[in-house]
Amino acid sequence: MQKRTMINKINAIIKEHGSFSIGELEHVDCSPCVGELGNYQGLAEEFERGRAKVYVYMSGFSSDSEDEYYMNYMDMEKYIVEEILRLAELWEVESLQTEKRISN
């Protein structure tokens, strides 16, 4: 699948079900890594239309981020966009299940 097509799907899911963060997804215990430099890792943890919020952590030292920034999906490697699409699809399923529970 083309990267642009995957991004369009991510954006459509977020438009329909809202932005989400990695912490809102059940059974997901790690964030996509968008880059590493020395002991630092950039993890995409919040997802909105067109971009993700990336938190920079020092490996093995703290659960507190050192920095944060936004990164457009188009600027990410294709395999990272694939992972974010998978997460967005999980978000869609969880959102639909929540809507169904609420309506009952």
pLDDT tens series, the chain, 104 aa: 899 999 999 999 999 999 999 999 988 888 999 999 999 999 999 999 999 999 999 987 668 899 999 999 999 999 999 999 999 999 999 999 887 888 76
Instruction: Identify the burial level of 76 via C-beta atoms within 10 angstroms of its C-beta, where 0-12 means exposed, 13-18 middle and 19 or more buried.
Output: buried
Q: What is the pTM of this model?
A: 0.91
Buried b (16+ CB within 10 A) or exposed e, 27-43: eeeebbebeeeeeebbb
CB 87, CB 25: distance < 8 Å = yes
What is the token pair recorded at 89?
């699809």
pLDDT of amino acid 34: 96
Distance CA 22, CA 28 (A): 7
Distance CA 79, CA 85 (A): 10
pLDDT of amino acid 61: 65
3-17 and 78-103 helices, crossing angle to 10°? 20
